[in-house]
Amino acid sequence: MSRISAAFTRSRDDGRVAVFPFLTVGYPDYDTHLALVRAMVAAGADGIELGIPFSDPLADGPTVQRASQAALAAGATPAMAIDAVRDLRAAGVEVPLILMGYCNTFLAYGEGRMVADAADAGADGFIIVDLPPEESDAMLDRCRTRGLDLVYLVAPTSDDGRIAEITQRASGFVYCVGVVGVTSARDALAAELPGFLQRLRAKTALPLVVGFGISRPEHVRALRGIADGVAVGSAIIDVVESSPRSERVKRVQDYVEVLTGRTEASV
Amino acid sequence: MTTLPDALGHFGPYGGRYVPETLMVALNELTAAYHEARDDETFRIELNDLLRTYVGRPTALSYAERLTERLGGARIYLKREDLAHTGAHKINNAIAQGLLARRMGKRKIFAETGAGQHGVATATVCAMLGMECTVFMGAEDVRRQSLNVFRMKLLGARVEVVESGSRTLKDAMNEAIRGWVTHVRDTYYLIGSAAGPHPYPELVRDFQSVIGREARQQILEAAGRLPDYAVACVGGGSNAIGLFHPFVEDQEVRFIGVEAAGEGLSTERHAATLSKGRPGVLHGSKSYLLQDEWGQVQEAHSISAGLDYPGVGPEHSFYKDTGRAEYVAITDREALDGFRLLSESEGIIPALEPSHAIAYVAKFAPTLPKEAILLLGLSGRGDKDINTVIEALGVG
């Protein structure tokens, strides 16, 4: 069983919504990013999305844009994302590690080389935000050959035909875009989210992970029973940005502990 | 080549749709609505009527007699898009997409703009059709093109100043797409160049092809034959593809696209995507792209805001690879010379964008025999650029 499937089996057995924090590789710098990821794993994260910074992130709001720019300014590269996977595995991190980025990074690196290097380093899959199923045949073949999951996104605007097409190709989990919009921490879940998830549930047995707009423990609780996991990105970057340097790792760990339900404190 | 793109928007390996899933259904709906409109006589009649009575089409084809004499080579004809309402070719596409938006029941329009010409054209169309208009424009372009910003506001548009990245067209387009992702259900995204995800490169090309269709007929009347060369500037490439495409099956007509070499192709400060870039994905389609070894998009530079873009429409990439068109580059300095040359020899003050094409023609025409014919796409007039030219050349 893949690490991703195993992670959902565990969280389902525990009756939990799995938590997948997102953090841009090289943000705020390479070493701090690794320390933050390890802290999030210690806080009970079920898997980690490692963001590969891109100069023109079309689906991201200001928070992830800032983190990407800061990482790039600090010299982050796609090769560094592979290094991060290798270093995290060497440090004993066992949870799924998923590389998340934009098409052009994969094209420039070489899709085949990216899949091979990521698999060798110990990554479990990819989320490519601007790669719809129509353009993904080659990448999907490469991922299947190396046993990696290519995670597709489904949006509230996706019609039934597209949902069928996507769920038929998808493996690992389906990334459900929680709002019609770009990434950012939001106060409330979209009213249409439960209906959207029901529509998906009827089409696939794959785990459903909701991302875009998730920032609070009550969001996670509200999704119990209708989704299998959440992806949280902007809200974590907000915590990093608002913490003094010496407090960053601890505050991020505290925040993720609240999301995973390890502590009850409200954030 | 006239049958491209394929059903998914590919021109050979280029084009396609590389966008967040949230937009995919809207792009499918747009494609269907466009194809339906294209085949609908009523739509065509309404569009042609507006092009005639509002835009002022057909625009003239002028024989540039003094320029021809001065350069001493090929006969030069100018396709005068500077005479179209709002002063550039951008209105051809804006008015057609405005009608398409109305047909689709959308009353809110988003647009991106570089030089401001597409923003002004879109604001104009929205005023005429009674639609709500938001134009995304980079802060650097807002500074360079303050006249156009004022025009857009006069026309009732909201100008969203974009502060991210290089604060030019690339970033305006990022922000417009993000805005569209958020408001996709009730908003029409009116792209100004033959770039972006399918169906925009096809749709914008088709709507701009009125330039080449008219020019083809006009030059046959004026010169009795087709031109040997069609020359146009290329930023995103909408005026060039509009001029070229109706000649695509006329193999004797060679296409030359003129990119912005900025401060020189050997520097980092240029916008010569086809000359110096390599294939990549930006703004939803695959095409040549200025990028670093890791695929990070590089900032472009050109004195002309309308060419200051690190990407290019996918059909141009296809033309480059197949050899159907040749792409050359002209520096800021040469473009300023072209700007003066046309002003002084023909009494036409060109925009800085087509000044690049004029500068290339100034070098190229003298190498051709006197019986050769050169068709130059004059995509817009230069009023908007007077401040930039004063800054660059000084007054007097």
Q: Which of chain B's residues have a Cβ under 8 Å away from the Cβ of A78?
A: 294-295
Pick the residue from chain B with its C-alpha nearest to A163.
B21
- Which residues neighbour A195 within 8 Å (Cβ) at sequence distance 6 or greater? none
Q: Strand pairing partners for B254?
A: B229
Cis omega before residue B20 (within 30°)? no
Determine what percent of chain A is predicted with pLDDT higher than 90.
Answer: 96
pLDDT tens readout for residues B107-134: 999 999 988 999 999 999 999 999 999 9
User: DSSP state, B103?
Assistant: H
Set A14, A46, A49, A159: catalytic member: A49
| A129 contacts B294? CB cut-off 8 A | no
Interface of A with B in 157-196 (CB under 8 A): 157-159, 162, 166, 177, 180-182
DSSP string over B129-167: HT-EEEEEEEHHHHHHTHHHHHHHHHTT-EEEEE-STTS
B388: how many CB neighbours lie within 10 A of its CB? 20
Out of A155-164, A177-186, B41-50, B219-228, pick the least confident. A177-186
pLDDT tens readout for residues B196-234: 999 999 999 999 999 999 999 999 999 999 999 999 999
Asked whether B191 and B275 are in contact (CB, 8 A), the reply is: no
Alpha-carbon Rg for chain A, nearest whole angstrom, is 17
Looking at the complex, report in whole angstroms how far the Cα of residue A159 sits from the nearest Cα belonging to chain B. 7
pLDDT tens readout for residues B1-23: 678 999 999 999 999 999 999 99
Give the mean model confidence (pLDDT) for residues A22-27: 98
pLDDT of residue B145: 85
Pick the residue from chain A with its C-alpha nearest to B29.
A159
A49 is annotated as an active-site residue: yes
Looking at the complex, report in whole angstroms how far the Cα of residue A37 sits from the nearest Cα belonging to chain B. 24
CATH number of A3-260: 3.20.20.70
Q: Which of chain A's residues have a Cβ under 8 Å away from the Cβ of B297?
A: 55-56, 104
Q: Which of chain B's residues have a Cβ under 8 Å away from the Cβ of A180?
A: 22, 181-182, 184-185
B108 is annotated as an active-site residue: no
Q: Which of chain A's residues have a Cβ under 8 Å away from the Cβ of B289?
A: 104
| A156 contacts B8? CB cut-off 8 A | no
* A103 contacts chain B (CB < 8 A): yes
Query: Which of B171, B294, B317 is most worth mutating to test chain A (most A CB atoms within 10 A of its CB)?
Result: B294
* Per-chain mean pLDDT for chain B: 96
Pick the residue from chain A with its C-alpha nearest to B175.
A58
B356: how many CB neighbours lie within 10 A of its CB? 37
pLDDT of residue B396: 56
Task: Give the domain ranges of chain A.
Answer: 3-260
Pick the residue from chain A with its C-alpha nearest to B299.
A55
DSSP string over A37-60: HHHHHHTT-S-EEEE---S--TTB
pLDDT of residue A267: 44
Q: Which residues of chain B, if any, have pLDDT below 70?
A: 1, 395-396
A60 is annotated as an active-site residue: yes
Asked whether B94 and B87 are in contact (CB, 8 A), the reply is: no
A vs B: CB pairs below 8 A = 113
Helix (H) or strand (E) holding B340: helix B332-346
Confidence of residue A266 (pLDDT cuts 50, 70, 90): very low
pLDDT at A1 over 90: no
Q: What is the pTM of this model?
A: 0.96
pLDDT at A265 over 70: no
Q: Which of chain A's residues have a Cβ under 8 Å away from the Cβ of B24?
A: 132, 155, 157-158, 162
| ipTM over cut 0.90 | yes
What's the CA gap between B175 and A241, in Å, rounded? 23
